[in-house]
Each structure stands twice: as structure tokens, then as C-alpha cells.
Structure 1
Amino acid sequence: MLSEQSTPVVRATLPAVGAAIGEIAEVFYGRLFADRPELLRDLFNRGNQANGEQQKALAGSIAAFAGLLVEHPDSRPDAMLARIAHKHASLGITSDQYKLVHRHLFAAIGEVLGDAVTPEVAAAWDEVYWLMANALIALEARLYQEPGPPEGGTWRELEIVGRHEETPDAVSLLLRGPDGTPAGAFRPGQYVSVQAELPDGARQIRQYSLCGAPDDPHWRITVKRVRGGADPAGEVSSWLHEHARPGDTLTVSAPFGDLVLPDGDGPLLLASAGIGVTPMLSMLHHLAARGTTRQVLVLHADRTPADHAHLDEQRRLVASLPDARLRLSYEEAGAGLPEEASVGLADVSTLDLPAGVTAYLCGPLPFMRGVRGDLLRHGLPAHAVHYEVFGPDLWLAGE
């Protein structure tokens, strides 16, 4: 909770800080990487830095957190904090790095806002920062305890034991522990980080959903190639497509992510687009393995059937559930249009949603924003809609 003396200061300065937070974020990252260039090389996603998405995500999260502290002083945005904490834990972020961020962030605030940053203003926003940082540090400490390694020690080597071309741009990799040991347990919907050593020596990190059965001794990830030429956005996916082969090893994190399927018997909506199908597959495998009788509505959108990774597997899993329905939407018909499919954009407003349904969304941000808006207009409460973002969480930044 924000202190009584800081609340009016933050409320009064939030419009000015919010208007400048994008510039502040840009200056902050410039200072941070000048001081610690290895962070850009080996920790931060160079593609998201190049296209500005990481700056937007940082700006959106700080402004949103400050706004919630002012408008809802007796509550804490746990959903937003949990999503950030899981991403940080999957990267091996440590508590001491928050001090480094604080130093460069507040130097950037002073550089951008100048004399407007009085001692009173600096103290109030310092309080905002440490309320957010300490909440994240506590959440991340609990997450590190779950897989067992010490703080930040999330990495291990896994062997690639299988590779399958799902579509021209999507390849699945099957992973196991050394000497054939099981990869380990995970919760349906979670992801892992993969660290790739690139030709220039950088060790870039990307997240991939675990898309197999949670009780399978192997882990499976599906990597969609991001085509961008010289753009670093696709450098890890391209490297994995070109170099990852059975017998090789990958540096992989423990499983993280809070878009997980809870126990219960209530109805579910699993809505995905593109490679967002991957966390939904692990949920479907989990439901099928337990012989669930829950109502399950599965919605997936893609460009064409040929671009739809795991199409046959998804259809097979839905068919194995006694009370499940599948709706597919493709922008273009292509060849081999499934009987469950229609041509056009996904339209949630036409769905007959059961009472008490809980929705899980994964896919491009415009798709999820559209589906979430339709669900809220349909009468679904906001707390019943959960989502996963691949890459920086720009949801708040775009609100």
C-alpha cells in the first residue's frame, strides 16, 4: 500500500510521468546497456529492444502499477505481478538486479523530467518502484523454491531426442534429461526458456510453451520461425530451425508461467490463434489423460489449415473428450478444410457459452484483445478471462 504522504504526489504527477514514461524507458535501457552490455547480449531479447516492444512493456507495467496503487489502494495487481514474476524466473533474474535497474531508471527519470523531479516527487516514485520490486522479488523467490535450484539457478542441459516438422514454419523438438532421465513435471499451460548461443557469441533467450502431456517423461516444444531478415526478432527461432537436431543439447529453464489449468469441473473455453495453440495442447492432453467430463469449447484461428500446427492432434484430443466442441477459423480456405472449420476471422460472439465458463487465451495480442472484448460483452466477468503473451506483455501498454 502506498503511504499517505506519497499517494497525493503520485496522483498529481502520474499524468506527467505517464506521458514521458516511454522516453524514460528508452533512456533507461540506453544507460543500462551502456553500463552492462552483457545484459543485452545474454539476457534481454535483442529483437524486442530493436522494435521498441520491451520499452513499451516496461512503461505500461510501471504506469499501470502506479495507477492501481492510487485508484485501488487496498488491493494489489496480483495477476500482473504474477505474469511478470514468472517471466523473470524463467530468465534467472536475481534480487540484486533490481538495485541495478533502480539506479539507472531513476537516473533516466531525472534526465527526462529535469527540475520537475523534486525530492518529494523522487521519494514518492521511489516508493512506487520498491513496492513493485519487492513484491516481484518475493514472488520470484517462491517460484525458485518450486523447481529446487537456488535463486537464478534455473538452467540445465536437455537432450533433443526427436524433431518433427509440423508445418513449413513450425518444428517440434522432443527433450529429455541426460542419460535418458525424465525431463520432469510441469503444469498444463506452462512454458520454458531456451538459451541459444548464436554465431556472434550472444546467448539469447526465448520462451516456448510445453505442448505435450504433463505426465510424459519427455518435454515437447514447438518453435515457429519468425521471418525478419536481418531483424533480430527471429534470430533464435531461425537458429533452432537450422541447427537443433536429435543428439544435440539445449540449455533449458525449469517450467514457469501462470496460465495454468486449475482443478475443478467447471466449463472451459480454450481460445488460441497461430502458435498460441501450444499451451492449449498441454491442457487438452491433461484433460484427456484424466478422462474429464467437463464441458470444453476449443476455438482456434489460423491463416490456412496448412499453417495450423498440430491440427490433427488437436482434433484428435477434442474428439476424445465426451463433452468437447472444436471451432476452427481460417483466413483462407487453402486445401483440406476440416469439417469443424469456417473461412473468416474468429467470432466469439456467435458461440453458445455455458454458464460459469472460464476462458484461456493465447495468440497474437490483437486476437486476444478482440476475443476478450467479445467475452466481456457476452457477460463473462473479467476475472474469468486468463491470457498468455509470447514476448513482452504489451496488453497494459496498449490499454
Structure 2
Amino acid sequence: MLSPQATPVVRATLPVVGAHIEEIARVFYRRLFAAHPELLRDLFNRGNQHSGEQQKALAGSIATFATLLLDQPDARPDAVLARIAHKHVSLGVTPAQYEVVHTHLFAAIGEVLGEAVTPGVAAAWDEVYWLMAHALIALEKDLYARGGGEVWRPMEITGRRDEGEDAVSFTLRRVDGEPAGSFRPGQYVSVRTALPDGAHQIRQYSLASAPGEKEWRITVRRDGEVSGHLHGNARAGHVLDVSMPCGDVGLDEGADGPLLLASAGIGVTPMLSMLGSLAASGSGRPVLALHADRSPAHHAHREEQAELVDALAGAELVTWYEDGADGAAARAGRIESLDGLDVREGVSAYLCGPVGFMRRVRGLLLERGVPAADIHYEVFGPDLGLDVR
């Protein structure tokens, strides 16, 4: 928790810092990459930096953490920070990099706020930063230890298959012949890719296979420089650098209550892992699977998803297509209402897809009385505050 000395200072200055936090983030990244260009080349997502999305995410995380320290001084921050910690581990972030971030972040705060940053203000916000940093370092240390300290492993592509109009799946096996490894249904891995300009960019992809299989499977939709490179160049026999499985959102396989799995676009992939795991275990849990896409042709793994749902007693699949309904089980447009759907009491909901889609479905579930704690989601890319309605 914040010290008695820092608390009133942070409370008094939070509105000012919050009003300038996006500018502070922009200046921070400019300073950081000027001093450490290798971080932009080999660690940070260049696309998110160009769009400004990463700056917004950093701003939001700092402001949210400071607010939490003020409003809930006795609460542990681990639950709030878990998603960030998993993303950091999937990138191989080290404790030493927090020192680098601190240096350039506080230089940016001074540049933007000027004389308003008195020694007392700087000390109070320094406390906020290190409370957040040390909590993340501790969480990440534990996650690294669970993975045996091995973040990256070489994995060979054993198969490639088109999945819908603009997606392709890859099956992966360890080059040493050992099983790919265990994971929770719903988790993801990072793929580190060497690009033609010499950069090594990292992107996250959900594991679309069920746990327990010797090989892993990921599905890549062509929508950026890394996915485009994989589409154009990755073939069977190629070796990729793949991270340990990460992600704090995973199916609770020990539970027995009803499930709602809502996905859009390539967000179907973690749902395939969950459905496959349920089918393999002979689960009798009621499952309502919802999927939205541009069209049937864009619906990656369409037949496989339907087959997995059909293999589960008491499971139902409902689809929405923006280009128009396709068959009796499909609806036209986007998911704008849950009317007529059997959203059962005690349901655990899992969401994956674009942030706007997940925010909309989360709101619909809250309106139906589903507790916020029972709605789980995964964000690929900067988390821009899905929980804010």
C-alpha cells in the first residue's frame, strides 16, 4: 500500500497526471526508443506503437493502478496485474527492464509537467511506480519458474492448412521430439519472427488445440506485418521461436457449471481448445457457444467448431454473420442482443475477439445478471479498459 506521506500527494495530483498521462506516455516512448532502439525492433509491437494504442494502454494501466491504491488501500494488486504479467512473460521481459522504464518514464513526467513535479510529487509517484513494478516482477518470477525458466523454445511446423478466407493454421512440435507441453485451454503462446529488415517482432496466438496432444496448433489471420510474413513464408519444416504458454484466462476444468463461449473472428481459436478439452473429457456441462464473423467464408474453423459442439451433450452453437444469415442456426448482423438465448444462472462466460465486440457482449451479460467476476476475457494487443462501461 502507499505510505501515509505519499497517499495525499498522489490523491491531489492524480487528476493532473491523469489529464496528461497520454502525453507523458508518448514522450516516454520517444525517449525510451531513442536510447534503446533495440526494444522497438525486437520487443515492442511496432504496429501498436505506430497507431498509438500502446501509449493509451500504458496510460490506462498506470492511472488504474494509482486509483486502486487510493480507493482500495488494503487490496492486493495481483489480480489486476495478472494479465500484464502474463503478457510480459510471453515477451521475456526481465526485472532489469523495469529500471530502464523507470528512468525514461520519470524523465517524461518531468518534461511534460515541468515545475509541477516537486521533489515531494516525484517521490510519491516513484512509490506508485515501484509498488506496481515489484508486484509485476514477483508475479512474473513465479510464472517463469512454473515454465522451468525456459521462455523460448524452437518448434518445427509440421503442417499448414487454410482455415477460412484469410486464416491459416500451423501445427507445431518441439524439435527435440518431446511433447509440446501442457497448458490451460484458453492460453496463448508468443511467436518471435525474424522479418526482412532484421527486426525480431513478437506476436501472441491462442493455442487452438486441446491440451494433452503431442503437437500444438495456432491459427493466424493475415492482418499485420508478422501475420503477413507467416502467411507468405511459413511452411512445413520451418522452425519458429515459440514461448511457453501464457494467459491468465483459462477454462476451469474442475468446475461443472454452465459455460458461455463468445467469440468473434479469429477469437474462435481459444474456444476450440476449450471445446476440444470438454469433448475429450466427456464433459456434460451445458455449453452455449456464440460466434460472430463477417461471413461464413471468413469463419475460421467453422466446420470444426460445429463438430465439437455437436459432440457435447447439451451444447448449442449460434452464429452471426454481418453479410447475412446462412442457415437456420445463423443470424444476420452483429450480436446486439441475447434475447432468446438460454443464458443460465451460474454461467461462466469466456470472451475473445475485438475489444469492441467483447465490451458489447460483456455489457449484455451484465444486463442479464451475470456477475462481472464470472465474465472472463483475453485481449491480444493493448488492453484499453474493457471493464469500463
Using structure 1 for the length normalisation, give the TM-score. Answer: 0.95
Query: How many Å apart are 1:349 and its aligned residue?
Result: 2.9
Cα gap change, 1:359 to 1:210, in 2 (>3 Å): same
2:169–2:218 CA contact under 8 A, matched in 1: yes
State the one-letter code of the partner of 1:148: G
- Alignment-derived partner of residue 10 in structure 1: 10
- Alignment-derived partner of residue 26 in structure 2: 26
- Structure 2 residue aligned with 1:254, among 203, 227, 244? 244
Output one character per residue of 1:252-288: Cα deviation in whole Å (capped at 9) or x when no partner.
1010001100121011111110001111110001111
- Structure 1 residue aligned with 2:284, among 263, 278, 293? 293
2:22–2:59 CA contact under 8 A, matched in 1: yes
- Structure 1 residue aligned with 2:227, among 215, 237, 242? 237
- Alignment-derived partner of residue 231 in structure 1: none
CA distance in 1, matches of 2:100, 2:79: 25
CA distance in 1, matches of 2:178, 2:172: 10
CA distance in 1, matches of 2:248, 2:311: 26
State the one-letter code of the partner of 1:273: A
Alignment of 1:334-353 (within 5 A): 337-350=326-339, 351-353=341-343
- Alignment-derived partner of residue 379 in structure 2: 389
Alignment of 1:1-399 (within 5 A): 1-149=1-149, 153-226=150-223, 234-262=224-252, 263-333=254-324, 337-350=326-339, 351-395=341-385
1:158–1:177 CA contact under 8 A, matched in 2: yes
1:305–1:333 CA contact under 8 A, matched in 2: no
User: Which 4+ runs in 1 deviate beyond 4 A?
Assistant: 396-399
Query: How many Å apart are 1:344 and its aligned residue?
Result: 1.6
Query: How many Å apart are 1:383 and its aligned residue?
Result: 0.6
Cα gap change, 1:397 to 1:119, in 2 (>3 Å): farther
CA distance in 2, matches of 1:157, 1:252: 6
Unpaired runs of 5+ residues, structure 1, are 227-233
State the one-letter code of the partner of 1:110: G
2:358–2:386 CA contact under 8 A, matched in 1: no
Aligned partner of residue 153 in structure 2, secondary structure: strand
Aligned partner of residue 167 in structure 1, secondary structure: coil
- Alignment-derived partner of residue 229 in structure 1: none
Output one character per residue of 1:157-187: Cα deviation in whole Å (capped at 9) or x when no partner.
1000000011221000000011543211111
2:195–2:201 CA contact under 8 A, matched in 1: yes
Aligned partner of residue 338 in structure 2, secondary structure: helix
CA distance in 2, matches of 1:271, 1:76: 30
2:291–2:318 CA contact under 8 A, matched in 1: yes
2:78–2:139 CA contact under 8 A, matched in 1: no
Query: How many Å apart are 1:6 and its aligned residue?
Result: 1.1
Query: How many Å apart are 1:356 and its aligned residue?
Result: 0.6
Query: How many Å apart are 1:80 and its aligned residue?
Result: 2.8
CA distance in 2, matches of 1:47, 1:347: 30
2:179–2:214 CA contact under 8 A, matched in 1: yes
Query: How many Å apart are 1:215 and its aligned residue?
Result: 1.0
Aligned partner of residue 269 in structure 1, secondary structure: strand
- The 10-residue stretch of structure 1 (388-397 or 170-179) with the greater mean CA deviation from structure 2: 388-397
Aligned partner of residue 186 in structure 1, secondary structure: coil
The count of aligned residue pairs is: 387
CA distance in 1, matches of 2:308, 2:98: 43
Aligned partner of residue 159 in structure 1, secondary structure: strand
Unpaired runs of 5+ residues, structure 2, are none
State the one-letter code of the partner of 2:374: A
1:363–1:389 CA contact under 8 A, matched in 2: yes
CA distance in 2, matches of 1:182, 1:339: 41
Using structure 2 for the length normalisation, give the TM-score. Answer: 0.97
Let me know the Cα RMSD of the aligned residues. 1.3
Output one character per residue of 1:127-183: Cα deviation in whole Å (capped at 9) or x when no partner.
11011100000000000011102xxx4111100000001122100000001154321
Cα gap change, 1:196 to 1:23, in 2 (>3 Å): same
CA distance in 2, matches of 1:359, 1:186: 19
CA distance in 1, matches of 2:327, 2:70: 50
